[in-house]
Amino acid sequence: DVKVTQSSRYLVKRTGEKVFLECVQDMDHENMFWYRQDPGLGLRLIYFSYDVKMKEKGDIPEGYSVSREKKERFSLILESASTNQTSMYLCASSFRVETQYFGPGTRLLVL
């Protein structure tokens, strides 16, 4: 069975804190993705990665960075969290151009 896990379901942080969101997949997928989901705006791609140590900017990369040191793990980093980064964060993985499988999501609140 396909499995994508995210480190936290809910997270509360203060403005200016450094935030790490972790995503792990156990399917040996090359591709991994980070999205944020906001009401009325749908899913927007932040960053994606085609391979270890490779990363590409998505549609809204500002304020975020990523790290992929191992194939199964893709981390999203908020260097200095701001209130406008309060959102639902979703990680996904896929084998090349095939179906993306999603994790359960992390609901982040920045105060």
> Which residues bind to other proteins, rule: CB under 8 A?
4, 31, 33, 35, 40-43, 45, 48, 50, 58, 88, 90, 92, 94, 96-105, 107
Q: How far is the CB of 68 from other proteins (least distance, A)?
A: 15
Q: How far is the CB of 80 from other proteins (least distance, A)?
A: 26
Q: Which is nearer to other proteins, 75 or 106 (CB)?
A: 106
Measure Cα distances from 62 to 14, 18, 44, 84, 94 in Å: 19, 15, 12, 12, 24
In the chain, % helix, strand, coil (3-state, to 5) comes to: 5, 55, 45
